[in-house]
């Protein structure tokens, strides 16, 4: 399975979405990647939202009623579930659509092959998106609403593929959507995350995940992205910094307890 649903309480409307924390690549997918093992390890280091799953689990266990988790069990280098699967995706032109053909530095990652891309999308992206949309529908049925907390992290320095090289890179970027992020949710998230450091809205990254089934159609679905600068919680060796992690977990708990 390319994803895992960690059950919460039936009375919780919250779903923590963790799309980019895994480094796992199936062997048959790895065989088609053009990078050698060292280059692939470095690309995974740069592109993986390291240890965000741990932060989500630590926070979820402290909240009553317990929120649900939807966790991607594959690397975003297999498919990126948060990118649009066509040229409507703004990063498509730099080879970073739903199926990456370029690395974060612009080097070839895989050969451009429409049939292989369709296979990856049908094998991994479609069931992922449908399962997450189904979970959102279940939360709506049970609680009359669903609240997605889209958890990410990003490096302190902009990677070459990023379109906004000179944007601010604050400790916390809060991504919002005009139709699916309420003022109250934004205020609560911004206040909770202020214990981590400066909070900036939609910079350097814009928006938050909403299933296409609900996007622009169902205002019972609200969503907010919490994008953490990695040096706020990670040490240079990749281990969790206890103080930084504690602040982030406290912020997530405050968001999820509302």
Residue-wise pLDDT for 183-202, tens only, equals 999 999 999 999 999 999 99
The model's pLDDT over 77-131, given as tens digits with 9 standing for 90+, comes to: 999 999 988 777 889 888 999 999 999 999 999 998 999 999 999 999 999 999 9
Report the pLDDT value the prediction gives residue 38, as an integer from 0 to 100. Answer: 98
Residue 187 burial (C-beta neighbours within 10 Å; 0-12, 13-18, 19+) = exposed
The distance between the two most distant Cα atoms of the chain, rounded to a whole number of Å, is 49
pTM (2 decimals)?
Answer: 0.97
Beta strands 14-18 and 68-72: pairing type? parallel
Report the pLDDT value the prediction gives residue 86, as an integer from 0 to 100. Answer: 77
**Mean pLDDT of the 151-164 span:** 95
* Cα–Cα dist 213/221, whole Å: 11
Cis ω on the peptide bond leading into residue 204 (within 30° of 0)?
Answer: yes
**Mean pLDDT of the 244-252 span:** 98
Report the pLDDT value the prediction gives residue 1, as an integer from 0 to 100. Answer: 79
Q: How many CB atoms lie within 10 A of CB 76?
A: 22
Report the pLDDT value the prediction gives residue 85, as an integer from 0 to 100. Answer: 83
Confidence class for position 140, pLDDT limits 50, 70, 90: very high
Closest alpha carbon to 152 in 219, 52, 250: 52
Report the pLDDT value the prediction gives residue 88, as an integer from 0 to 100. Answer: 77
The neighbouring-strand residues paired with 222 are 147
Question: Residue 229 contacts by C-beta under 8 Å, 6 or more apart in sequence?
Answer: 153, 154, 155, 156, 169, 170, 171, 172, 173, 197
The model's pLDDT over 53-75, given as tens digits with 9 standing for 90+, comes to: 999 999 999 999 999 999 999 99
Report the pLDDT value the prediction gives residue 176, as an integer from 0 to 100. Answer: 98
* Cα–Cα dist 113/100, whole Å: 11
């Amino acid at each position: 399975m390319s994803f895992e649903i960690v059950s919460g309480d039936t009375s919780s409307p919250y779903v923590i979405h963790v799309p980019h924390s895994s480094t796992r690549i199936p062997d048959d997918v790895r065989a088609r990647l053009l990078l050698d093992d060292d280059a692939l390890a470095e690309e995974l280091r740069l592109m993986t939202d390291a240890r965000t799953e741990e932060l989500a689990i630590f926070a979820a266990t402290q909240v009553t009623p317990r929120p649900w988790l939807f966790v991607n069990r594959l690397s975003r280098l297999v498919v990126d579930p948060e990118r649009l699967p066509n040229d409507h995706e703004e990063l498509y032109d730099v080879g970073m659509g739903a199926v990456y053909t370029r690395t974060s530095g612009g080097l070839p990652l895989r050969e451009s092959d429409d049939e292989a891309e369709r296979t990856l999308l049908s094998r991994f992206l479609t069931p992922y998106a449908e399962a997450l949309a189904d979970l959102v529908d279940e939360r709506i049925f049970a609680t009359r609403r669903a609240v997605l907390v889209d958890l990410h992290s990003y490096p302190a320095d902009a990677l070459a593929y990023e379109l906004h090289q000179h944007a601010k890179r604050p400790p916390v970027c809060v991504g919002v959507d005009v139709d699916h992020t309420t003022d109250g949710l934004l205020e609560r998230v911004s206040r909770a995350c202020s214990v981590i450091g400066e909070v900036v809205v939609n910079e350097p990254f814009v928006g938050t995940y909403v299933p296409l089934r609900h996007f622009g159609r169902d205002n019972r679905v609200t969503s907010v992205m919490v994008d953490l600068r990695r040096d706020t919680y990670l040490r240079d060796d990749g281990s969790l910094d206890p103080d930084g992690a504690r602040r982030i977990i406290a912020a997530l708990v405050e968001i999820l307890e509302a």
